[in-house]
Amino acid sequence: MYQFDRREYDARMAWYRQARLGMFIHWGLYAIPARGEWVRSTEEMPESEYLRYFQEFSAPDYNPAGWVRAAKQAGMKYVILTAKHHDGFCLFDSRYTRFKSTNTPLGRDVVADFLQAARAEGLRAGLYYSLLDWHHPDYPHWGDANHPMRRHPECGNQGRSFERYLDYLHAQVEELCTNYGKLDLMWFDFSYGNLRGEAWRGAQLAEMVRTLQPGIILNNRLEVSGEGFGSLAAGHPTPCHGDFITPEQIIPPHGLQDALGQDLAWEACVTMNRHWGYCAADRFFKPASMLLRGLVECVSKGGNLLLNVGPDARGNLPPESLDCLNSMGRWMARNGASIYGCGRAGTDKPEYGRLTRNGAHLYVHIFENTLGPLPLPGLKREQIRSIRALATGAEVPISTSWVHSDYPDMVFADLGPDPQLPDPIDTVLEITLNEH
């Protein structure tokens, strides 16, 4: 039976803490109705109505290599695909169901294609697997919190066997861990109500995954949902503990620590608009500047950002998503050193931006210019070996102006006479510290 080992845990988490930025990909039959990935549940859509999308799923522009290439060019270091979402439709060639992409007009094992593309680009790759399944006959229907037929007493649960469903769930996860080579990450989703932990046979499931995929990391949703932290955070990890916390659609107000005060690994999973799966009417896309600053905020608090894209029914990434990824990629190409391998700076953030740190390198992220020289709170002059503009390497001198003579114990940087920042999204200074 699995026993938590801090040293082994830190070793398997090393790449994840280095990566800091990843891409989530939600794709499935729900791209055709184009009203979001929960469309069956929110509209209480009968199975017979939903199955027509199964017959249409052809995706003529499908190109997972293009998805992965867009992620890499945006500066992402890992990618995660929905192998099965709540609707039960599988993007892999499972022997346990006919409700899979290989039986649609597309006729492809999307998981196999995706993993091949990710490996070709040198990215870490993981799979999302929903613990829920609205297609499987043994998953609870009537009275469940989420099932499309939850309010339909004619779809009662007589004759349904949850144990039989769990056999199916475990068998499919075993397929994913056996048939597709090395997986870096397994992203389960999600626990709710009485369906938590051992209700999924969680210890057995996690043990199987860790045995078949040595070194894999797991999220915390065998125990919790997008809310809640899990047993690792509580200081007594169960065998199905998550290796990282998964706040959803929010960046925690502070860095996350466990009950013993140790920093936790965490990842804010965030959509570009308001839906995970493609939604044609949802035009509320966040600007690249907001997402980049959100990434910086995550890293400054010791976390990662997992940014979602939802390909459309033809298999294309929305143009708004591509535009955002391109903008992020340009910034990351010049400033990635302030993100990869960085974490909390150990000092309060300045009013004008954020701080990240990697060893002796402190990164000052300037979102707004200051009137007068830029204060560098928490630093002494003798601690600073050099200050450089990260994007260009240009020296930034320490200010000697009389205007801050009332603050002799504070160091100020001289950004020059131009009130406009070189990068209006985030101008980054790299401060190399003297190590004593």
pLDDT band of residue 436 (cuts 50, 70, 90) is low
Where exactly are the structural domains of the chain?
6-338, 353-433
C-alpha dist (Å) from residue 326 to 74, 320, 329, 331: 6, 10, 5, 9
Average of per-residue pLDDT across 36-50: 98
pLDDT digits (tens, 9 = 90+) for 399-428: 999 999 999 999 999 999 999 999 999 999
What CATH number does the domain located at 353-433 have?
2.60.40.1180
Q: Which CATH number fits domain 6-338: 3.30.470.20, 1.10.3720.10, 1.10.260.30, 3.20.20.80?
A: 3.20.20.80
Q: Give the C-alpha separation, 268 to 245, whole Å.
A: 8
Parallel, antiparallel, or unpaired for β 353-358 and 304-309? unpaired
Beta bridge partners of 430: 363, 388
Backbone φ and ψ for 279, nearest 5 degrees, come out as -135, 110
Q: What pLDDT shows up at residue 1? A: 76
Q: In 177-240, at which residue ranges do the beta strands (DSSP E only) sit?
A: 185-189, 217-218
pLDDT band of residue 340 (cuts 50, 70, 90) is very high
pLDDT digits (tens, 9 = 90+) for 88-98: 999 999 999 99
How large a percentage of the chain has pLDDT more than 70?
100
Burial profile 339-377: b = 16 or more Cβ within 10 angstroms, e = fewer: bbbbbbbeeebbebbbbbbbeebbbbbbbebbeebbbbe
pLDDT band of residue 318 (cuts 50, 70, 90) is very high
The mean of the pLDDT values for the chain is: 97
Q: Which helix (H) or strand (E) holds 129?
A: strand 124-130
Domain 6-338 and domain 353-433 have a common topology:
no
pLDDT band of residue 245 (cuts 50, 70, 90) is very high
